Amino acid sequence: MAFLPALVLLLHLLAPVLAGLPDKIYGVNLGSWLVLEAWMLPAEWLAMGGDNCADCSQCIGSEFAFAQAYPDTVDATFKGHWESWFNQPDVDKIAAAGINTVRIPLGYWIVEPLVDRSTEYYPRGGLQQLQRGLQQLKDAGISAILDHHALPGVQTAGQQFTGRCTSDVEFYTDYNYHRALIWTAVMTTLSHLDPAFESVIAIEAVNEPIMDATQTPGYGDFQQNFVKVVRAVELILGLPVPGVQLDVPVTTANFTHAVESVCGATQLADVFTPEVIKTLLDAVPVLLELAPQLAVAALFDTALPAAPCNAKHEPLVTNFMDVNWQYNSPPNPADAALGPQGYDNHLYYSFGGVADPNPDAYMTSICNLNRVQSDAALGNSPLWFGEWGLPVQFNTTDAFLTMWADAQKLAYAQGKGWIFWNFKVEESALAGDLAREWSYFKGLELGFLTQDPSQVHNASVCAPYVNSTAAA
Ligand SMILES: *[C@@H]1O[C@H](CO)[C@@H](O)[C@H](O)[C@H]1NC(C)=O
Ligand SMILES: *[C@@H]1O[C@H](CO)[C@@H](O)[C@H](O)[C@H]1NC(C)=O
Ligand SMILES: *[C@@H]1O[C@H](CO)[C@@H](O)[C@H](O)[C@H]1NC(C)=O
Ligand SMILES: *[C@@H]1O[C@H](CO)[C@@H](O)[C@H](O)[C@H]1NC(C)=O
């Protein structure tokens, strides 16, 4: 019987390692850090030299417009923003709030060799900031989801969160899908070989693609390729991929060299498709350029095949917006899964179209939400709510915002959990009341959010609103 405690101990030790994701995600987004959205920091943006205007394509209203307007100073200006918007005091506050996960919105331009500088303008130096922030998060025991939030070519029109406000949406093309895949190969490699990236548990393929699937041609193929690129890198690193064995030996500890030799010899056509091979080979010079900047010696000395540098030895979770994000016969990302995968849904009531603009309608809607169930029916499980907040379309009381926070947390915890948008927003005269409904730190301060994120003020908050028809 001495066997039993030993087994229990072993399982206990293995459980957090094998899980990858926390049991329940209690998270915040690190929005406006490496992808800046001026509406969240209006006074700082003006002070930097940006403009606030109603149509962000008509002024210096995005990172792209800013970098185009200030080519000589953009990098230094953004360095100042990156270092002040998210740094150790923020990590300390996030940790003190019991948050176990952050979602980090990133632009494709953080992998600088992917930017065509003749037509595309973005600040430089973000990757070192990401490395710095991930190290701080790792030291605090907080997991990170790398979220490809702003895609090459722009994935949706007229939004600051894509880095460029434009109606010229070009992401859904072979050229830009390919650039996004190179980005994915680079991030997967760094996540496994740069010790600072050990906090990374997942990579999200595309934030908020266009909802009408007829306008996103090729997105289903991209989903397949995204997963294959992640798993191809992991196979070369000797990580386990369910049901798949690399068919050629890796005989060098130099990762980029291993990529070249495996891509030249493998017959594992299910994973190493021509597009995946092209992606990995195109990622090699990018990695060779980045490795000295990031001081990732492990790229050239991974002690393969026995052990990749990253101590965790676990495959990343591939992450997509859920199938129900889109309509008009969308591709189902569940069809692309190979190894651990998770799904993301975003829910904001303040933009309209979800419920009538009054407190009772909001509560009736959230208390009868069935997105976790309807996603699970399509294989999109586990599901978490990677963006939500407290904003509403009406003037409201503190008492309602407290109920509103509780009800949303209860709804989202029926799935894998939640990630609030945003960890903070600017507090200034210009920003007005913005923080009250959009800032996790402010919501804690005002008491809408509980100090322990797993708790709510009132577990029965939904009782009067649960619709017996929907519940049955
Ligand atoms: C690692 O391999 C790459 C790709 O073949 C090569 O360019 C590079 O010089 C190698 N680096 C070292 C340190 O051997
Ligand atoms: C909210 O209150 C302010 C100030 O009392 C008022 O100007 C505004 O019209 C109200 N907004 C709504 C949506 O009721
Ligand atoms: C919790 O909410 C329910 C439903 O509105 C209400 O009946 C109950 O009084 C509330 N409990 C507390 C402690 O406020
Ligand atoms: C109850 O929920 C169903 C399904 O969501 C909905 O069609 C119906 O209108 C709801 N009834 C009430 C009284 O809210």
Q: Residue 301: its pLDDT value, please?
A: 75
Q: Residue 245: its pLDDT value, please?
A: 95
Distance CA 290, CA 44 (A): 30
Between strands 383-387 and 341-346, the pairing is parallel
Helices (H) and strands (E) counted in the chain, each on its own, are 16, 8
Q: Residue 209: its pLDDT value, please?
A: 98
Ligand 2 in reach of 394 Cβ (< 6 A): yes
Q: What is the mean pLDDT of the chain?
A: 93
Q: Residue 202: its pLDDT value, please?
A: 98
Distance CA 173, CA 8 (A): 51
**464 Cα to the center of ligand 3, angstroms:** 9
Between strands 200-204 and 341-346, the pairing is unpaired
Q: Per residue in 15-53, pLDDT tens?
A: 333 348 999 999 999 999 999 999 999 999 999 999 999
Mean pLDDT in residue range 212-225? 98
Number of neighbours of residue 23 by Cβ within 10 angstroms = 11
**160 Cα to the center of ligand 1, angstroms:** 39
Query: Which burial class, exposed, middle or buried, applies to 153 when counting CB atoms under 10 A from its CB (0-12, 13-18, 19+)?
Result: buried
Name the band, by pLDDT with cuts 50, 70 and 90, for residue 467: confident
Ligand 2 atom nearest to 393, measured from its CA: 13
Of the chain, the percentage scoring pLDDT greater than 70 comes to 93
| Token pair belonging to 104 | 């980090």
Rg over alpha carbons for the chain, rounded to the nearest Å, is 22
Name the band, by pLDDT with cuts 50, 70 and 90, for residue 341: very high
Distance CA 325, CA 439 (A): 24
Q: Per residue in 380-402, pLDDT tens?
A: 999 999 999 999 999 999 999 99
Q: Residue 62: its pLDDT value, please?
A: 98
Ligand 2 atom nearest to 394, measured from its CA: 13
Q: Residue 15: its pLDDT value, please?
A: 34
Ligand 2 in reach of 395 Cβ (< 6 A): yes
Residue 355 has pLDDT above 70, yes or no: yes
Q: Per residue in 50-69, pLDDT tens?
A: 999 999 999 999 999 999 99
**449 Cα to the center of ligand 3, angstroms:** 16
Ligand 4 atom nearest to 368, measured from its CA: 5
Mean pLDDT in residue range 457-464? 98
**395 Cα to the center of ligand 2, angstroms:** 6
Q: Residue 307: its pLDDT value, please?
A: 46
Ligand 2 in reach of 175 Cβ (< 6 A): no
Torsion of CA 421, 207, 60, 52, to 10 degrees: -30
> What global pTM score does this model have?
0.93
Residue 92 has pLDDT above 80, yes or no: yes
Mean pLDDT in residue range 243-260? 93
Q: Residue 253: its pLDDT value, please?
A: 86
Distance CA 322, CA 383 (A): 8
Between strands 25-29 and 383-387, the pairing is unpaired
Q: Per residue in 163-194, pLDDT tens?
A: 999 999 999 999 999 999 999 999 999 999 99
150 DSSP β-pair partners: 107
- The residue whose CA has the least distance to atom 12 of ligand 1 is 300
**465 Cα to the center of ligand 4, angstroms:** 11
**238 Cα to the center of ligand 1, angstroms:** 19
Distance CA 263, CA 244 (A): 16
Number of neighbours of residue 284 by Cβ within 10 angstroms = 18
Q: 404 CB contacts (<8 Å, ≥6 apart)?
A: 359, 362, 363, 366, 390, 392, 396, 448
Name the band, by pLDDT with cuts 50, 70 and 90, for residue 469: low
| DSSP codes, 116-141 | -TTT----S-HHHHHHHHHHHHHHTT
Residue 1 has pLDDT above 70, yes or no: no
Q: Which DSSP category does 142 fall into?
A: -
- The residue whose CA has the least distance to atom 13 of ligand 4 is 467
List pocket residues of ligand 1, CB cut-off 6 Å.
Answer: 254, 256-257, 260, 284, 288, 300
Q: How far is CA 409 from CA 57, 91, 106, 353, 383, in A?
A: 35, 22, 25, 20, 14
| Token pair belonging to 463 | 């009782």
Torsion of CA 438, 440, 442, 443, to 10 degrees: 90
Q: Per residue in 403-426, pLDDT tens?
A: 999 999 999 999 999 999 999 999
**459 Cα to the center of ligand 3, angstroms:** 8
Ligand 2 atom nearest to 357, measured from its CA: 13
List pocket residues of ligand 4, CB cut-off 6 Å.
Answer: 364, 368, 467, 469-470
How far apart, in Å, do the first and last CA atoms of the chain sit? 46
Q: Which ligand is nearest to the CA of 391?
A: 2
Name the band, by pLDDT with cuts 50, 70 and 90, for residue 299: confident
Q: Which ligand is nearest to the CA of 281?
A: 1
Residue 332 has pLDDT above 60, yes or no: yes
| DSSP codes, 357-421 | SSHHHHHHHHHT--HHHHHHTTT--SEEEEE-----SS---HHHHHHHHHHHHHHHTTTTEEEES
Tokens 């923080």 -> residue: 435
**255 Cα to the center of ligand 1, angstroms:** 8
Q: Which ligand is nearest to the CA of 467?
A: 4
